[in-house]
Amino acid sequence: MSFASASINLTHHFLIAMPGLEDAAFARSVVYLCEHSERGALGLIINKPTDITLKGLFDKVDLSLRREDLGREPVFQGGPVQTERGFVLHEPMPDESRSATDGSAYASTMVIPGGLAMTTSKDVLEALSTGAGPRRVLITLGYSSWGGGQLESELAENAWLTVAADLSVIFDTPVPERYDRALSLLGLEVWMLSPSAGHA
């Protein structure tokens, strides 16, 4: 099947870098795709932590962080685009029993079909700083993007494997294990992949 001629939608999927992908930003990366259409794709790398903790990030933007469960969590390198800007991948806030004033509806939020949301506005950080906000979050600096047809051609060149996203990989799996865990969703292990291998 030719990826170039078929219309595929990989929103709410993982891209798993093949061993042959040597681009420094993407080697051994797992990318969660927030959006994919004929216009291109946007995603966040979920397994490349920076040396900044969430507490450190909140200090930088002059917010306290009243969520002790999050303080030591790392900020991730989401990708090579807009690396000075924060992106918050989180569980959508339940609309019931919440009013719009306490953080259920953030500005600049993309709701991703499949169950997550991605917010780029500071109000989600302000909600987290008070102890409210989404329960599970992954915060990145920067994001990954592909122009129209670019991701499809990379898939045709066997740069990536794809699999439907499993939220436990994002939120429950230790960072060093996320690449192997994402591969295991396909029934694969790293030793099975050669740098020139095709699709599973």
Domains annotated on the chain, with CATH: 13-46+145-192 (3.40.1740.10), 49-142 (3.30.70.1300)
Residue 24 has pLDDT above 60, yes or no: yes
- Residue whose tokens read 């966040």: 44
**What is the number of other CB atoms lying within 10 angstroms of the CB of residue 190?**
10
Averaged pLDDT for residues 45-61: 96
Query: Residue 34 is encoded by which pair of tokens?
Result: 């927030």
102 or 85: which carries more pLDDT confidence? 85
Type of residue numbered 104: S
pLDDT at 7 over 90: no
pLDDT at 171 over 80: yes
User: Is a pLDDT exceeding 90 seen at residue 143?
Assistant: yes
Q: How confident is the model at residue 94 (pLDDT cuts 50, 70, 90)?
A: low
Helices (H), 19-166: 54-60, 123-129, 150-156
**Cα dihedral across residues 73, 127, 169, 150: positive or negative:** negative
Residue 38's pLDDT is what? 92
Task: Examine the pLDDT at 5 and tell me if it is beyond 70.
Answer: no
Report the alpha-carbon angle 153-160-49, nearest 5. 125
Q: Which of 15-24, 64-73, 84-93, 156-165 has the highest mean pLDDT?
A: 156-165
